[in-house]
Amino acid sequence: MQTVLKTPHNIKPNQNKTFPIGTIQTVKHIFEELHLTPFLDDLKHSGHQLSGLTTGLVSYKMTEDLSVSRCHQWINNNPYLLKELQLDPFGDDALYRGLAILGKNKHLILSHLLHVLKNEHGVGLDMVFMDWTTAYFEAKPSDYIKYGHSRDHRPDRPQVTIGLAQDQHSKISVRLSIQPGNINDQTHFKKTYQQIKPGLRQGSVLVFDAGATGTPNLDLLVSDKRKYLTRMKLNTSDVKQHLNTFNKEEWTPVVTGNKDEEVYGKQLVFPSRTKYLYFSQTLYDDTLSNRRKHLEREYDEALDLWKTIQEKKKPRKKYRNSNHFLQTHLSYTFPLTGLSREEAIERALQLSITGKEGFFALVSNKDFSLHEALQYYREKDGVEKLFNSIKNELHIRPTRCWTQEAIDGSILIVFLAQLVISLLRYKHECLCHISTKFILQSLRNFALTIIVGHDGVRKRVFSNFDWINTLIFCGKTPGS
């Protein structure tokens, strides 16, 4: 057997094969724990098993993640993978049909997962975090892919909106909702809530952001005997009665776990809810600092515009109307002329202050302390981390699918891949603070090498162990 790396013209070819098996073995194991394999096979009664196709799609999403066509090549060019997935060689149209079946039955699949997680994995849903985002498409708009407010800073692209619900204790994503791209958070909230509702108990707390806060949504939760914690906009009475008379000595200091953070709070108790007003010195300083930088840019732009007008030149296109069928006569005034740059910026900064800087408000119909309300609301950041993971590590886009069922199926594959990562963190506490990137990298590196001897005997060797995949597959870290 050749074991020494020689110069290229002396290297001899052999029949040894190395396969990355970390992702596929992990997905198979998690699917077995979730009883997902027989459930998926019941959704497709002929042709290739849906469980094998789904396992292959999720494994590929966690390994290379290029396209459905490349996933087809990845599976079919590897006899070991076909054997592991219990599949015969197939065409790429089988994967597209599989995606459509998954999308068509996504509610049944998600309900099954919620039932198993709640009853067998201790996911109690006592507190659930909810949030919404968007995923855009390089495609023409349709009845499903529509223009709307983009969280990806791509208002020029049609999109769909995606909602996630995450259990507070386990940090596991327990529900997924997908809606057309022009649906706002207040409307989408009802869809996500109706899907998570069967798993909730009376008294479960739902935590969400101000975008979904509205009287109809809060009344819906109260009528269902649920609790809520959400952020709300500061109103005029808050400013006049409490913010304008703010005094650090009269408000209660709030412990946040960060010794360098200075936060003060005040509770306003009403018959049906409690409002929590907070002042953060860090937020106040950051707000004024960012506003000052913005004013500095505006001052320089105003100075350039003033010079352009003095020289009787046309202002830049952004300062004038570009419609060929309209004539406009614009004039500009410079009220802070005569002041130095610093004086003008400071004057503008003082004029821009509204009295709300550094303040924010939460509201709940459950009796939290100032510390608890702020702590739980900030924990909602876990959903933002899920969105970051599915967008930047698992790459929810491009989907390369255009029908509603296929789009839903493609997004469901990403949701299942993230669910696998979340369950690994739930089972192994030391992975909780390891990013998705490094967990995926460890699983991709774990490989099986089949060494073929001169006598034709095949020997299997597992390789590329590190502490993460050793913990996942062996239940311990190397050297322990």
pLDDT band at 157 (very low <50, low <70, confident <90, very high): very high
pLDDT band at 475 (very low <50, low <70, confident <90, very high): confident
Say if pTM beats, i.e. exceeds, 0.85.
Answer: yes
Q: Which of 68-82, 217-231, 306-320, 433-447 has the lowest mean pLDDT?
A: 306-320
CB of 266 within 8 A of CB of 245? no
> 135 to each of 148, 175, 185, how far by Cα in Å?
11, 17, 14
- Mean pLDDT over all residues of the chain? 89
Angle at 402 between CA 400 and CA 408, to 5 degrees: 90
pLDDT, position 192: 96
Query: Which of 432, 424, 430 shows the shortest CA–CA distance to 25?
Result: 424
The string of DSSP letters for 273-306 reads -EEEEEEEHHHHHHHHHHHHHHHHHHHHHHHHHH
Q: Which of 230-234, 258-262, 470-474 has the lowest mean pLDDT?
A: 258-262
Q: In degrees rounded to 5, what are phi and psi of residue 90?
A: -140, 165
- Given a cut of 70, is residue 6 above it in pLDDT? no
pLDDT, position 16: 78
Residue 376: CB atoms within 10 A of its CB come to 19
Distance in angstroms (rounded) separating the CA atoms of residues 470 and 349:
56
pLDDT, position 3: 64
Query: Which of 51, 13, 50 shows the shortest CA–CA distance to 31?
Result: 51
